[in-house]
Amino acid sequence: MTTAPRIVTVRQNILKDNDRVAADNRRTFQDAGVRAINLVSSPGAGKTALLERTLQDLQGQIGMAVAVGDLATENDAARLRQWGAQAEQIVTGTICHLDASMVQAVLPRFELAALDVLFLENVGNLVCPASYDLGEAARAVLISTTEGEDKPLKYPTMFNTADVVVITKMDIAEAVEFDSALCRENIDRARPGVQVIELSSKKGSGLDAWYSFVRGLPLP
């Protein structure tokens, strides 16, 4: 038995355990026929407001539920429950993102077979959630008109993982002098070719495109 140091080549993904659990989740969703959508954005971009509107508008048309992550409080889940859908809070404590295990742990609380769509509302944060696959079918990255058009280039990893980018709060775009063309150019730099939806959860504009995405249909 030697105690001399040995060099071992590993070449393994540091997050391989998360990716393995995410693959399990993905299989669970597929088997149950549920489309899981991971929503990410900075705090206050309007994830919960968009979900409230969605639950309200699509109620009775498709089966929906939400698992929502936050560092503390049950407030978001309570907001979402008032629209009649099941909403389960995942309190992450000091952790700034959802990971695949946290999602897996909450899944037994849902009757997945009765659902068409499960929203995974991530912790408000444009950095950390980027690295963690949850097993979702699609990832929606939200950016609001109040945030600054260069955000996609400041957080390139997050935008680079988007299946769709949603620009929220379009009803106040003019008041905050939001430059849509510039924002779209920066989004396209971060994720060439990605589809962009401009909407207002409050006034209802642009929601048809969002609902197509939610249902997994091609965007109009």
Chain contacts with other proteins (rule: CB under 8 A): 3-18, 95-97, 99, 127-128, 130-131, 152-153, 155-158, 160, 186, 188-193
Tokens of 48: 């919960």
Residue (179 or 188) nearer to other proteins, CB: 188
CB of 19 to other proteins, least distance (A): 10
Alpha-carbon span 81 to 71, nearest angstrom: 19
Residue (93 or 220) nearer to other proteins, CB: 93
CB of 133 to other proteins, least distance (A): 12
Alpha-carbon span 147 to 165, nearest angstrom: 14
DSSP string, 179-218: -HHHHHHHHHHHSTT-EEEE--TTT-TTHHHHHHHHHTPP
What residues contact residue 94 under an 8 Å CB cut-off, 6+ apart? 71
Residue (2 or 177) nearer to other proteins, CB: 2
CB of 25 to other proteins, least distance (A): 17
C-alpha 151, offset from chain centre: 17
Q: Is 78 helix (H, G, I), strand (E, B) or coil?
A: helix
C-alpha 106, offset from chain centre: 16
Residue (9 or 220) nearer to other proteins, CB: 9
CB of 160 to other proteins, least distance (A): 6
Residue (62 or 160) nearer to other proteins, CB: 160
CB of 115 to other proteins, least distance (A): 29
Tokens of 148: 């600054």
Task: Answer for the pair 40, 141: CB distance below 8 angstroms, yes or no.
Answer: yes
CB of 61 to other proteins, least distance (A): 34
Residue (127 or 172) nearer to other proteins, CB: 127
